Chain A
């Protein structure tokens, strides 16, 4: 029997994978992919809670509206982030996070 706990554990493990990627990887594009994974993991937790918190016998659609907003914001974030990566690549000829050290004291 699949419970809400199963979905929450999958969501948590996906988030943890994304977090490990953001910390360990040095390629900015892959760091961005891991950020997307973390956002999707949060979406999975939200949809899980929405399904198992019934309002009038239906899933709680407030949570799914929040997921809709999250997906919109994530799409905007990817567009702007990738434009920043392209601008960075133009000035540094590299997508390694360690090539960007101008703000280092």
Chain B
């Protein structure tokens, strides 16, 4: 990915993220968050994570944002323009964010692993086809031999080959979440 595009999408992600934190109107915040997630999905694509980038758009920018907007409109929340700001909380929040950013920049600039780039760690698809050989499905090795990265197939293979139990636990978690939502949103009978 050209450096210019990286900076563009990083700017979109962080700029709209900033608008989520500072916006006064909840609808503006929700739409900024959607834009921020689109920028983030582009960064995922630039890291050769096509499946994760697609899922980011589908789940976050699609499902989660619709849920947020639905709740904002259902509850008819007014924007907080009239309210006074909570100054100690804002000062401590900004201070903590700045300190955390500076610390992360300091740690990252001091380590060797952070100097890896797409140029000095290229993907070796043809070699990978030979190395994983019989361990993978034939469709994966075929894709690798033709020089494409079968991203979704490899994630699926990892999930079902090594993390089958964890996948079922997550499925159960979603079921529990669904039941929880139904129970929570059931209107309670008013006390006599």
Contacts and interface: CB of A to CB of B under 8 A. Distances in A.
Given A9-B105, A20-B94, A75-B174, 6 more contacts: A14-B14, A16-B98, A21-B20, A23-B89, A56-B127, A65-B155
B14 A2 contact: no
**Main SS of chain B's interface residues?**
helix
B20 A71 contact: no
A18 B21 CA distance: 7
B184 A83 contact: yes
B33 A23 contact: no
User: Which of under 10, 10 to 19, 20 to 34, or 35 or more describes the interface residues of A?
Assistant: 35 or more
30 contacts: A5-B109, A6-B6, A10-B13, A10-B14, A10-B43, A12-B104, A12-B105, A18-B21, A19-B96, A19-B100, A21-B20, A23-B92, A24-B21, A34-B20, A43-B56, A44-B40, A57-B127, A58-B149, A59-B123, A64-B49, A64-B155, A65-B155, A65-B163, A67-B52, A73-B170, A75-B174, A79-B178, A80-B177, A80-B180, A87-B184
Interface residues of B, number: 91
